[in-house]
């Protein structure tokens, strides 16, 4: 990891809740996810980087030594404003709102694009919009790296157990976790589909937000959709790549635009 920005990274909400929080297994998995992301983008160091769904900017700060010219795009204006303020000292790092600001960026302007832990939360309409934006902004031959959670097979049982344990400990974000009926759980372990709840909320500025949680997400179905617009050159898994999709937390798709 890039240690130069460690203090800035540690001050962020994501680092406090996920990387250094009280849920040890969950924190370890997230830390390994960032390490995997850094390894996957490292061969393209020096290219212009877009992180779509950048959250509080943690990943961009972690790879600023590799990608000094980078843009983070986020749908929550409060996160955009917070990242701009928090990382204002990092030259070459900019943050834009997913909307007019992102639409104003020139086409084919990025050699590396990441979209990590985003598409599982998107409704089908939003998935289409996000993939369209990634395709428009990717330069010819660009590396497009997409990560999504593995929520099927034995991995789902491990995750649900870890989430339940975190909820019992009173850890924020896990007490109101999504639950499966027994029949739904069997279907997801087998890789079959279940209904996905759609939640509605508003961002701090009042903008409406419709989204999914993790329940019912199938990474293989998402990969099949991605292949309409991108060639998936390689699929890997984290935190323990050798275990494949059976007992891993994330699936990673290394893609190129068609």
Contacts of 212 (CB under 8 A, 6+ apart): 120, 121, 122, 123, 196, 197, 198, 199
pLDDT band per the 50, 70, 90 thresholds, residue 161:
very high
CATH number (1.10.3720.10, 3.40.50.150, 3.40.50.970, 3.30.360.10) of 3-151+202-257 reads 3.40.50.150
Q: State the pLDDT confidence band at 4, using cuts at 50, 70 and 90.
A: low
For the chain, give every domain's residue range: 3-151+202-257
Q: Is 238 helix (H, G, I), strand (E, B) or coil?
A: strand
Is the C-alpha dihedral spanning 23, 28, 31, 32 positive or negative? negative
Helix or strand or coil: residue 55? coil
pTM for this one?
0.92
Residue-level length of the chain: 258
SS3 113: strand
What pLDDT sits at residue 244?
A: 93
Most confidently modeled of 1-5, 18-22, 173-177? Answer: 173-177
At residue 7, the pLDDT reads 74
pLDDT at 238 over 60: yes
Token digits of residue 60: 């961009």
Residue 70 backbone class (left: φ over 0; alpha: ψ -120 to 50; beta: rest): beta
pLDDT at 236 exceeding the cut of 70: yes
Is the pLDDT at 171 greater than 80? The verdict is no
The verdict on whether omega for the bond into residue 239 sits within 30 degrees of 0, i.e. cis, is yes
Q: Is the pLDDT assigned to residue 224 strictly greater than 90?
A: yes
């Amino acid at each position: 990891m890039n240690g130069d920005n460690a203090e800035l990274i540690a001050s962020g909400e994501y680092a406090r809740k996920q990387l250094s929080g009280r849920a040890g297994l969950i924190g370890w998995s997230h830390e390994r996810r960032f390490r995997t992301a850094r390894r996957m983008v490292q061969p393209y160091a020096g290219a212009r980087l877009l992180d779509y769904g950048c959250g509080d900017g943690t990943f961009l700060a972690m790879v600023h030594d590799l990608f000094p010219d980078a843009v983070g795009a986020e749908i929550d204006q409060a996160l955009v404003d917070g990242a701009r303020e928090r990382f204002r000292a990092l030259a070459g790092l900019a943050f834009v709102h997913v909307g007019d600001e992102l639409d104003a960026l020139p086409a084919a302007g990025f050699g590396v694009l990441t979209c990590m832990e985003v598409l599982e939360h998107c409704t089908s309409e939003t998935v289409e919009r996000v993939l369209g934006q990634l395709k428009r902004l990717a330069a010819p031959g660009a590396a497009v790296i997409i990560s999504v959670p593995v929520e099927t097979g034995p991995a789902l049982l491990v995750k649900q157990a870890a989430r339940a344990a975190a909820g019992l400990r009173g850890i924020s974000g896990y007490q109101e976790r999504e639950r499966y009926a027994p029949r739904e759980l069997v279907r997801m372990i087998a890789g079959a589909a279940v209904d996905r709840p759609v939640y509605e909320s508003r961002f701090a500025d009042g903008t409406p937000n419709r989204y999914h949680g993790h329940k019912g997400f199938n990474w293989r179905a998402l990969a099949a959709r991605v292949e309409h617009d991108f060639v998936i050159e390689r699929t890997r898994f984290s935190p323990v790549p050798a275990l494949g999709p059976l007992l891993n937390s994330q699936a990673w798709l290394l893609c190129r635009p068609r």
